[in-house]
Amino acid sequence: MYLFQNVPAGIEIALEKMKKKEKAELTLASKYAFGQTGWPERNVPPDSTVVYDLTLHDFERAKETWLLEAEEKVMQV
């Protein structure tokens, strides 16, 4: 499942582990990239391995679940 549209799960996993200003080159297997459907709009064929160069410039820490108001908890689902 993707949190953001057209952002592969592998990038989201990597970003969770990165530190501010860190750079990384990611090679994502198909199951962590665009899977069996590919991304036709960007000419990424099905079952492709893709490579990304990432730099995490900045981030904002999410609130702990127990600190969220009821409405904020619903928004996270």
Contacts of 58 by beta carbon, 8 Å cutoff, 6+ apart: 20
DSSP 17-35: H--TT-EEEEEE-GGGTTT
Model's pTM, two decimal places?
Answer: 0.70
Give the Cβ contact number of residue 44 at 10 Å.
Answer: 17
- Stated as kind and residue range, the H or E segment containing 53 is strand 50-55
| Confidence category of residue 1, pLDDT binned at 50, 70, 90 | very low
Query: pLDDT tens digit string along 15-40?
Result: 989 999 999 999 999 999 999 999 99
pLDDT value for 32:
95
Percent of the chain past pLDDT 90, that is, above it, reads 62
pLDDT at 66 exceeding the cut of 80 = no
Domains and CATH numbers, the chain: 9-76 (3.10.50.40)
Residues 55-75: what's their mean pLDDT?
A: 77
